[in-house]
Amino acid sequence: MFNIRITLCSALLLLGLGAGLVNAKVSEEEADRLGVDLTPYGGEVAGNEDGSIPQWSGKWTGLPPGLDYDGPGSKQPDPYGDDKPLFSITAANYQEYKDRLIEGQIAMFERYPNFRMDIYPSHRDFNYRDWSIEKTRWNASHTEMSNGIESVVNYTGGIAFPIPDGPSEVLWNARTNQCYASVYGQYDGYGVFTNGERAHDAVTFGQSFPFNDPDNPIPTTEEVVGEYSIWTVTSSLAPPRRKGQITAVQDPLDYKANNRNAWQYDPGTRRVRKAPSIGYDNPTGPGGLQTIDDHKGFNGAFDRFTYKLLGKREVYIPYHNYTLNNPAYGDLDDRLTKNFLNPEYVRYELHRVWAVEGDLAPGKRHAYSKRRWYLDEDSWNPVMSENFDSRGNLWRVGMFFSDYQYDAQCYIKTTQVFHDLPSGHYVISFLTFDRKEFDYTVPFMKKNEFTPAALRKRATR
């Protein structure tokens, strides 16, 4: 089922040995495969044997020809809107497709008799922006891991390890696959409960990735960029008790050497304070049905788990879901059905994914005893996850919708859903159904916009 490729270096990392261990970069000869038999991001160009996964073409960069699009902030047209489902997988027939399903999907069929997956033709038509390709190619033969697996060195932005050789490199790719410098937007989240009630939150956010600052060309590395790799500011719009609360977060490149900095403005006291711990298994989102480090699949420090690479699989994953956040295709209530999203609005395609498993490290504490992540080979986006409770039972199944964004010129993690199997509840976040789409063309936001002083300034606007 899995194609496993683990080197001695990776095996040592599995055991958490050698705090100063550095992963070797690939040779120039190996890196030259990018754009030849490997895509510029490191996926296999070739399709699979039976043709159900096509060869990567990369024929489109940005907006495909023939589509009408009003630009940043507007709903994106569906390039595959004329496709019809090839077949549907249901509780009655899922056994026929088990080889291309993950454990979490199988659990969904066994838990919910009316769960359904509509399988559409697979597409691999989109290419990436030039500077992201160039940064990724440079990283391939220069970037290494350091301080155990907590950091990277000689990194210039783009995908850190397009030709990975271990579990930590795959997870670092999920952390470094941002193909834009800054983003701004608003989104909603809903906890959907089995009794028909919902919890709602809404957020305005801005985010910057300093390694992608246009003023940091190749080969500008951490020696110039500094010790922080992601800056985020959020302002709460709902629920009413949190309206006006503003939080700024600075995420380090190395979680072992530096803390995650976070500050919060409280509209009640009108003061900015150092925020409490934001990380690991602290519950978050409406209903508290996910953890902080569930965010977008995986974020924060690596130190609570030991990791192993399970290899590659061909799996049906959520992909090209352009209709989910578009009100032209139906109302929101029709989407947020009991136990899971209405299957009419979820498109699945067959793609190759990298699978990584994490087991709780000796002496560490976390709500999850085991975690699995599945990453799309063409984008390095986490597309699904499985989280297990302290008794080893499957607890939460995550699905991350990955769509090509025309302005950013790459695939980006958009809406995410976590299904809480014991309760039957689920939480959906990063939903832009009633809002403008995220804008990836905003000018680069500098570090001084993500500080305590910036929070005070925003609060007085």
Q: How confident is the model over 61-99, as pLDDT tens digits?
A: 999 999 999 999 999 999 999 999 999 999 999 999 999
Q: What is the DSSP letter of 4?
A: -
CA distance 356 to 373: 5
Report pTM.
0.94
**8 A C-beta contact, residue 281 and residue 367:** yes
Query: Taking the alpha carbons of 302, 304, 308, 313 in that order, is the dihedral positive or negative?
Result: negative
Whole-number pLDDT of residue 460: 76
99-103 LR contacts (CB < 8 Å, sep 24+): 99/1, 100/313, 100/314, 100/315, 100/316, 100/350, 101/315, 101/316, 102/313, 102/315, 102/372, 102/374, 102/384, 102/386, 103/372, 103/386, 103/394
Whole-number pLDDT of residue 81: 96
> Which among 174, 192, 182, 144 has a CA at the least distance from the CA of 9?
144
Whole-number pLDDT of residue 278: 82
Q: What is the residue whose two structure tokens read 């990975």?
A: 164
Whole-number pLDDT of residue 24: 63
Distance of CA 67 to the CA centre of its chain: 27
Q: Which segments within 82-146 are labelled E, that is strand? A: 87-90, 116-119, 144-146
Element spanning 400, H or E: strand 394-405
CATH class, 8-459 region: mainly beta
Whole-number pLDDT of residue 347: 98
Residues of the chain with pLDDT under 50: 3-22
Tell whether omega for the bond before 252 is within 30 degrees of 0, i.e. cis. Answer: no
**8 A C-beta contact, residue 278 and residue 298:** no
**8 A C-beta contact, residue 152 and residue 172:** yes
